[in-house]
Structure 1
Amino acid sequence: MSETRATTPVFPPGRYGRRRDGRRRRPLPLIVAAAVFALGALGVAWAYYQKFGQTDYNPEIIGWNEPTDAEMVIRFRVRVPEGGTASCVLRARDYLGYEVGTRTVAVPAAPGGGEVVVTESVPTTQRGSVGDVMTCRPAG
């Protein structure tokens, strides 16, 4: 009976690159680097949210009434900081999308700041179909 022993192969030096030594590497540096990267990404995301997330003077249309031939009443919401006043441009358009009326209104802040719900009338030259809040910005 012959016996075959399992041996590790012997490779010529330098021919196949560097061989691993079989020890397991510790993943601690990789984990630390990933944690530092994640904290940095969260910091950047928080900074951008503070700068651009809760924008003041950002209008949101709520709706409008059944328009007449002479006016359209538009209801909208705008966030105004405490002590500030927003200047908002309202627009009424007809069924084909043509502008039939526009008006600029001043919206004072609510006590303590925050969102303000406003209902304003826009005079029109003919029957409107759609009401828009074009823009809101700081008054002045």
Structure 2
Amino acid sequence: MTEMHATLTPGAPVFPPGRYGRRREPGRRRPLLVWLLLAALVAGLGLVAAQLYARYGDPAYDAQVITYTDITDSGVSVDFRVTLPEGGSAVCLLRARSHDGAEVGRDEVAVSVGPGERHTTVQHRIATTARPFIGEVIRCRPAG
């Protein structure tokens, strides 16, 4: 008859000695290591977000379409207002689309403001390959 120790919990499996190797005690959890890894991950993601914002998310360059007029088969005039840093300059990308949404014209416009100014209004005519339905400003970025 095999001897059973009183330390075994009822329902725990009993393995023949020497057959499956030495049983290990459950590992000690390392919450400090988990928290350090999590903090490093958050810091790394924060750095990536800051770099992407600095490159693509500059709110100092903002454009708003005021109106688009003079729509003909060969073009559209777009009036837009640009907000820039004081005394800054930018390049704005304009686009004309047809009624079905296809791009029929595209143009880049250089915009600048004088010292002490932050806003300027620009009117530009976009030449198109077909009759446009709308003229719009896609984005403005720092000139350079």
TM-score range, shorter chain: 0.5 to 0.7
The 1:61/1:82 distance shift into structure 2, 3 A limit, reads closer
Structure 1 match to 2:71: 69
Structure 1 match to 2:36: 36
Contact 1:103 1:122 (8 Å CA) reproduced: no
The alpha-carbon deviation at position 39 of structure 1 amounts to: 1.1
What is the aligned counterpart of 1:130 among 124, 131, 134? 134
User: Secondary structure of the residue that 1:68 maps to in structure 2?
Assistant: strand
Partner Cα separation in structure 2 for residue 84 and residue 135 of structure 1:
16
Structure 2 match to 1:105: 110
Partner Cα separation in structure 1 for residue 126 and residue 79 of structure 2:
12
Q: Which runs of 5+ in 2 are unaligned?
A: none
The 1:104/1:125 distance shift into structure 2, 3 A limit, reads closer
Q: Which AA in structure 1 matches 2:122?
A: E
- Confirm whether residue 17 of structure 1 aligns to residue 21 of structure 2: yes
The alpha-carbon deviation at position 81 of structure 1 amounts to: 5.3
Contact 2:61 2:85 (8 Å CA) reproduced: no
Contact 2:69 2:78 (8 Å CA) reproduced: yes
Q: TM-score, normalised by structure 1?
A: 0.59
The alpha-carbon deviation at position 131 of structure 1 amounts to: 2.3
The alpha-carbon deviation at position 129 of structure 1 amounts to: 1.5
Q: Which runs of 5+ in 1 are unaligned?
A: none
When the two structures are aligned, how many residues end up with a matched partner?
128
RMSD of the TM alignment (CA)? 4.1
The 1:63/1:134 distance shift into structure 2, 3 A limit, reads closer
Q: TM-score, normalised by structure 2?
A: 0.57
What is the aligned counterpart of 1:87 among 91, 102, 125? 91
Q: Which AA in structure 2 matches 1:133?
A: V
